[in-house]
């Protein structure tokens, strides 16, 4: 079984690669950062390709270079928090290009391979932000809402390829580590019903389930993996 993971060189994508590899999958990491890719792929002993998912030629070239694919994990994503009044248009355009158009480009380029698999599936990585309507996030939350809508739309369009999404809550990764410095992690953990900030492996375990035979009848679903943070307000 072969999986391609975008943004796989670090964080949640790399944890997905570790979990799938341990479960016997062959994994190819895609990322725009070549140094990180070389390091992570040699540690894992997996294949990799330097691909910026917003670059049409690069994405097409990669997907035409492979011969078999069972799962695509659209994990690469960026966030540039800005308030409406301070918004930089080019920054927010980039958020849409990576999170929505990059996901679209990879998925459309992978479809013919996934159709040839007996168990093809796609897992998109969304965010709790898609439904919390938090201030100051620029277009990040809106981009993830679009990813959730497309997850359901594509589940209808390309069945029997299964299409699901995982929406992480607060997860400590290289990309979010600044948010958890100097006591901030403990403070944030208090808001989470399960009492801790999540780890990349919390997400990877659910992604592994969603690409596996165990979820053979699951499609069009958004699974929130957030320690209960999105469920409501805990009693204090
Ligand atoms: N960490 C969290 O708390 C959290 C919460 C909700 C959702 N998410 C989502 O999970 C995903 C992974 O987040 P993370 O925290 O692991 O991020 P991260 O910043 O630690 O890692 C992201 C990886 O994606 C790569 N990448 C970025 N743009 C790319 C592009 N255009 N083409 C190819 N690769 C690209 C980066 O080089 C990096 O290796 C993202 O989609 C993010 O929105 C994360």
Helices (H), the chain: 11-22, 34-44, 56-65, 89-96, 103-116, 129-132, 140-157, 184-190, 200-211
Q: What percentage of the chain reaches a pLDDT higher than 90? A: 97
Residue 99 makes CB contacts below 8 A (sequence gap 6+) with 77, 78, 140, 143, 144, 146, 147
Query: What tens digit of pLDDT does each residue of 211-220 get?
Result: 999 999 999 9
Query: What tens digit of pLDDT does each residue of 65-107 get?
Result: 999 999 999 999 999 999 999 999 999 999 999 999 999 999 9
Atom of ligand 1 nearest to the CA of 203: 10
Residue 9's CB is within 10 A of a number of other CB atoms, namely 26
Q: What is the pLDDT of residue 5?
A: 99
Q: Which two three-digit tokens encode residue 95?
A: 């958020």
Distance (angstroms) between ligand 1 centre and the Cα of 60 equals 21
CA distance 174 to 121: 27
User: 192 CB less than 6 Å from ligand 1?
Assistant: no
Question: How high does pLDDT run on average in the chain?
Answer: 97
Spatial CA neighbour of 200 closest among 2, 33, 20: 20
User: 226 CB less than 6 Å from ligand 1?
Assistant: no
Distances (CA, A) of 139 to 8, 21, 80, 152, 190: 23, 33, 8, 20, 27
Distance (angstroms) between ligand 1 centre and the Cα of 157 equals 26
Q: What is the pLDDT of residue 232?
A: 81
Residue nearest (by alpha carbon) to ligand 1 atom 25: 7
Domain architecture of the chain: domains with CATH: 2-225 (3.40.50.720)
User: 120 CB less than 6 Å from ligand 1?
Assistant: no
Q: What is the pLDDT of residue 234?
A: 62
Q: Are the CB atoms for 139 and 91 separated by under 8 Å? A: no
CA distance 17 to 14: 5
Distance (angstroms) between ligand 1 centre and the Cα of 6 equals 9
Q: Are the CB atoms for 97 and 54 separated by under 8 Å? A: yes
Residue 202 pLDDT > 90, yes or no? Answer: yes
Three-state SS sequence of 129-140: HHHHCCCCCCCH
CA distance 94 to 115: 30
Establish whether 140 is a catalytic residue. yes
CA distance 206 to 194: 17
Residue 236 pLDDT > 70, yes or no? Answer: no
CA distance 107 to 71: 10
Distance (angstroms) between ligand 1 centre and the Cα of 11 equals 7
Tell me the β-bridge partners of 47.
Answer: 28
Residue nearest (by alpha carbon) to ligand 1 atom 24: 7
Residue 233 pLDDT > 90, yes or no? Answer: no
């Amino acid at each position: 079984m072969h999986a391609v993971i975008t943004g796989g060189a670090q964080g949640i994508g790399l944890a997905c690669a570790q979990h799938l590899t341990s479960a016997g999958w062959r994994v190819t990491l895609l990322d725009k950062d070549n140094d990180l890719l070389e390091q992570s792929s040699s540690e894992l002993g997996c294949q990799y390709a330097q691909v910026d998912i917003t670059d049409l030629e690069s994405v097409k070239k990669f997907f035409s270079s492979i011969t078999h694919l069972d799962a695509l994990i659209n994990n690469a994503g960026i966030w540039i928090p800005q308030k409406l009044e301070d918004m930089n248009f080019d920054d927010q355009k980039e958020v849409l290009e990576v999170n929505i158009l990059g996901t679209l480009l990879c998925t459309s380029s992978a479809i013919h391979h996934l159709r040839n698999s007996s168990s093809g599936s796609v897992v998109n990585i969304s965010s709790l932000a898609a439904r919390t309507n938090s201030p100051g996030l620029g277009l990040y939350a809106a981009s993830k809402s679009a990813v959730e809508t497309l997850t359901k739309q594509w589940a209808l369009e390309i069945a029997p390829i299964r299409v699901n999404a995982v929406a992480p809550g607060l997860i400590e990764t290289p990309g979010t580590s600044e948010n958890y410095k100097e006591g901030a992690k403990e403070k944030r953990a208090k808001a989470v019903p399960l009492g801790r900030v999540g780890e990349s492996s919390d997400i990877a375990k659910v992604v592994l389930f969603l690409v596996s035979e165990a979820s053979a009848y699951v499609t069009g679903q958004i699974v929130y993996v957030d320690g209960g943070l999105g469920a409501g307000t805990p009693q204090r």
